[in-house]
A and B are shown apart, each in its own frame.
Chain A
Amino acid sequence: MIHTDVIVIGGGPAGLAAAITAKRAGAQTLLIEREARLGGILKQCIHDGFGLVRFGEKLSGPEYAERFIHEFHEENIEALTLTFVTKIKKTDDGFVLSAVNRSGVAHLSAKALVLATGCRERTSKQVFIHGTRPSGVFTAGTAQHLINLLGQMPTKKCVILGSGDIGLIMARRITLEGGKVEGVYEAKPTPSGLTRNIYQCLHDYGIPLHLSKTVTKVFGADRLTAVEVCSVDKKMQPIEGTNEIIECDALILSVGLIPENELAESLGIQIDPRTKGPVCDEVLMTSADGVFSCGNALHVNDLVDYVSESGECAGKAAAGFARKERMELSLSVGENVQYLVPQRLNLNAEDLKTVLYFRSREVFGKCSFVMTVDGVEVFRKRYSVLRPPEMERVEYDFGPLGLTAESLVSFEIEEA
């Protein structure tokens, strides 16, 4: 059995950052990746726009990943690729993993774990699309895999459901490859993707965006031949009589991402129903001592720069992990906040300088992000606009507040 200090599961941007940081903090570190190459989903994201926050330049996904992979190798960190973790067992002084690869089943032990397992896409069935079962229904990520990694064209003429960023990126990508995108349909009254992507991927290419409309049905016995679109009411339910048939050969779905936390769940880790990721403290430790979470497994990020940042936070903490008495305080959020990460603080921590990530529940014009302790306002940040697709980041040091386990720390978005 291999023994190490920290095992990072997942070799995407979060896992790479976590492993590099853990190693630099002096921990013996091992990274496990299920695919053949490091880089995670960035490998197939050949568009630009990555790294603006972190490097001040517009990189493609592979370029962004390459910078970290380079550092990763410079640090001489061991990586097991094409290796799949099947089981994690808690032991007295850490964890034992069963990992499958082409050499067999290996058992690996570590004092601390970083789960950087990313996310998966919601499927057509999860948004209750009905009709036949033809080929030609793809999630945007699958279409991206086919086009960018395998050089295969999955459509000549398609409809895209969902205005999430990957859907927008794929609308442009398919157009550039000579395919026709009949339109992007979004059930919500506002777009789900970043504003810059609405302009750069749709407007610039003359691709129409239809809001408050959704796809309800697909047609075609073999390959998809058409989709039915419908206007939806405020509860996102299709309105009868508004249906329209659009002939196309594919339906591409960008209808949301779900953090992948099956391994975390197998350890009984508490999951936040709002983020679908583990409930974490200020150093991103989950409810299981010694298990840290980062990246899109923690919550779905809009920018990879923040994914790396959370990886670094988790990696550093995992390297310095030592079992100590904890004093936990949950942070509560008001109705206008969709979610807040981290969800709690360990008041016994020496340092309570914390990076907070949050999203608003809906679009708010002039508003403030306000923090109160026992009803008294202690922090306020003003925004000219807050949009759910755009994640916000706030740094705050809780140390000087002198919080106790009984304090009520609350966050809310107040409209001006």
Chain B
Amino acid sequence: MSKFQNICKKIAELSPNIRVSEARGCIVLQGEVGNWETAVKAGQLAVDKKRYLGVINDISLKGFVQNQRLPTEQDKSLDDERPDVLIIGGGITGCAIARDMSKYKLNTVLVEKGPDVASGASRANGGVIHVGINFSKHSQKHYYNIRGNRMYAGLSQTLDVPFEQKGQFLLCCKGWERLVVELLRLHGRSMGIPGVRWLDREELLKHEPCAPDYVVGGMYMPIGGITSPMEMTVALVENAVKNGVRIFLNTAVSGMETENGHIVSVDTNRGRLYPRLVVNAAGVYADKIAEMAGDRTFTIHPRRGTDIITDKKAGYMVKTSMEKSPFSILPYQKAQVTSGPFGSAKAILAALHSNTKGIGLIHSIHGNMLFGPNAVETPDREDTSTYRDEVDQIIEIQCHVATDLKASDVIAYFTGVRAPTYEEDFVVRKGVFTDNILEAAGIQSPGVTAAPAVAADISKWAVEYLAEKMTVEKNDSFDPVRHAPPRLAQMSDEDRDALICKNPDYGTIVCRCEEVSKGEILDALNSPVCVPTLDGIKRRLRPGMGRCQGGFCAPLVAQIIAEHQGTSLSSVKKNSAESIVTYGETKGAAQ
């Protein structure tokens, strides 16, 4: 039986309603199923990286319609534009690409569907700069992760973004796991991951004094780090804009006109553009964009991940980032392990194959403890809801690793929708069927780590492509350096005093939990990519991210925004244009 027939057989066993075919080097699935698990399972069964470019899984879920949030703005501000490069997607990948493009004298435009950069998975993750020891040696994930990891310290310094490289830990509870760690160390070395080693409990406690009692030691991976993905994305896009890139928020691509494998024009809610080259960094919609361009070889199957944040007071429970080794069966898990000689082995295998891996604890760059994420397949590309059972379960699991953790330590939780392909790898490549597109798709974890490396390749290919059509010159005035606006809470009293003397607004504290001043909010409103919404300010400066979650400061921040923008208080929004905060003045406003 051929490989294709084999796939057909397996899928037929799964569901009779799925049609399997081959087209343009891809394996194509079509039909309608009654539950999403079946659709995902079929996609997974169809993966054959050796023989096919990828899986095109067009199986629909009965009764499900994607509710896509689109910007309501309609104008002609981009109509007839002829940019050299059009980047679709303002996540960390798109923004990193935009910055790299700004090293050249090119007309580069970035469009983002959401009301802010990093509106999708880029923001909703733990900010870990990954080690990547679990990736396959031949994967793009590994290739870009290890390169990205090496770039992070330098990039963070240049862009004035906080970055800590204190390492990452895998906690082990059985002595024999030391052997596994040794194997991983050798594997890591062959992948170019330096410094991996076993630490005995005593040594481990120096790094992680709150490691639970049952931990006998662990694998230390010194190249692991922590960033603030939001701040990094903002820094990248600000630097790109400073160096000449134009960014359009609330701008969605609705279609493309192609001709003989060439994108002629791109339609948006701000008019029709005629770009020379398109970069697809569209996150969960990357397969839709590739489809429009006639270059689709993959399918994004959205995967929801929820993370939980604690009060900074609980931040002491983890100093770096740590997770339980998948081999360790904790006392609470024993009840779930079937007895018999293979019970433990089965549990370990199940753990290894689960997408949740070991959910980890992270000391966030701002000092909170962050833990998660889980991993739930969903047909809905925009379902950033949180669910009671999932959050309860994450807390339940983490109580066994962060043993002091109480439910009352939790101040917030959020969900991001990741954008994996069925091949579970990045799709960073030149167009296969379309000449003027570059794909930066399938970017899930470790996308934050990989972004600078992905951007380096994409921009290199972009320049190579454009150089055949036009003269591409270096941008002599490119300034790689970006200075972050001052953060007064982190300063010494003397420095703080000096700044306040220059600008008294730095002395008016607006957010008491995170100690954010009016001056800092005004800085954000005057920044190169101003997002004058409550969330825009919150994401940049954190008022509203502390323990009161904006209860005290939100009305104050709204007032500052209204004053700065010269608008009424009721026109200040939370996030999107429809996310009204107040309905206007009292006495009649509610009629």
Contacts and interface: CB of A to CB of B under 8 A. Distances in A.
A142 interface: yes
Interface in A360-393: none
A121 B497 contact: no
B386 A131 contact: yes
A102 interface: yes
Interface SS majority for chain A: mixed
A104 B497 contact: yes
A265 B578 CA distance: 41
B441 to A, nearest CB: 24
B586 A177 contact: yes
Given A103-B500, A104-B500, A222-B576, A142 B509 contact: no
Interface in B395-428: 407-408, 410-414
Contact of A125 (B384, B413, B534, B559): B413
Nearest to B389: A130
Tier of interface size on chain B: 35 or more
A125 B385 CA distance: 13
B548 A120 contact: yes
B586 A105 contact: no
A132 interface: yes
A120 B511 CA distance: 13
A100 B575 contact: no
A152 interface: yes
A6 to B, nearest CB: 23
A286 to B, nearest CB: 18
Contacts of B574: 134-135
B276 interface: no
B589 A121 contact: no
Nearest to A173: B586
B410 A135 contact: no
B50 interface: no
A120 B550 CA distance: 11
Contact of B575 (A135, A139, A145, A178): A135
A114 B515 CA distance: 21
Contact of B385 (A132, A150, A179): A132
Interface in B552-591: 552, 554-555, 559, 569-570, 573-591
Interface stretch (A12-20, A153-161, A290-298, A329-337): A153-161
A102 B507 contact: yes
Contact of B555 (A105, A146, A265): A146
Contacts of A100: 488, 496, 500, 507, 509, 517
Interface of A: 34, 82, 84, 86-87, 98, 100-105, 107, 120-121, 123-126, 128, 130-136, 139, 141-142, 145-147, 149-156, 174, 177-179, 216-217, 221-223, 238, 265
18 contacts: A87-B493, A98-B493, A100-B500, A100-B509, A101-B508, A104-B496, A104-B497, A128-B388, A132-B384, A133-B414, A146-B555, A150-B569, A151-B585, A153-B582, A155-B583, A174-B590, A178-B590, A221-B69
Given A153-B582, A177-B589, A223-B580, 9 more contacts: A84-B515, A100-B488, A104-B497, A104-B500, A133-B384, A135-B580, A152-B586, A153-B585, A178-B590
Q: 4 tightest CB-CB pairs across the interface, nearest first? A: A222-B578, A135-B574, A152-B582, A178-B590
